Amino acid sequence: AQSVTQPDDHIAVSEGARLELKCNYSSSVSPYLFWYMQYPNQGLQLLLKYMPGDNVVSGIKGFEAEFRNSETSFHLRKIPAHWKDSAKYFCALSDTVPGTAGGAEQKPPGTL
């Protein structure tokens, strides 16, 4: 079984300061890890994803995360923080390779 834990329910960061959101994981296999953000009344937006290889992952909006297998952590960071970073953040884990199951296919209305 696998799981992720975000120990901080809420953090306050000053404008221009360092932002760090913690994520710890448990997995019996090499994990694929993700960080998402969500603004009020909007859907989830993928910030970055880790796949085995480079331990430091750069994402959109100036975010990065570092995979530390020895600490089972994947903490999200940004310097400097901006007021537009106020949102909900979600860490997620998968034990399968993303994208290998095939993507969703969109068809015109009325077709099968």
- The CATH code of the domain that includes 67 is 2.60.40.10
**Residue 67 resides in a domain:** yes
pLDDT digits (tens, 9 = 90+) for 47-103: 999 988 889 999 999 999 999 999 999 999 999 999 999 999 999 999 876 664 443
Average pLDDT rounded to a whole number, residues 31-42: 95
Tell me the C-alpha distance between 47 and 83, whole Å: 17
Whether 105 maps to a domain, the answer reads no
Does residue 51 fall inside a structural domain? Answer: yes
Rounded to an integer, what distance in angstroms lies between the CA atom of residue 6 and that of residue 92? Answer: 10
Q: Classify residue 39: in a domain, yes or no.
A: yes
Domain that holds residue 37: 3-8+23-90
Q: Tell me, what's the pLDDT at 102?
A: 41
With a CB cutoff of 8 Å and minimum separation 6, the contacts of 13 are 19, 81, 85
Question: What token pair was written down for 96?
Answer: 């399968």
Residue 54 is predicted with a pLDDT of: 82
- Give the pLDDT confidence score for residue 41 in this predicted structure: 95
pLDDT, tens digit, for every residue of 10-30? Answer: 999 999 999 999 999 998 888
Q: How many domains does the chain fold into?
A: 1
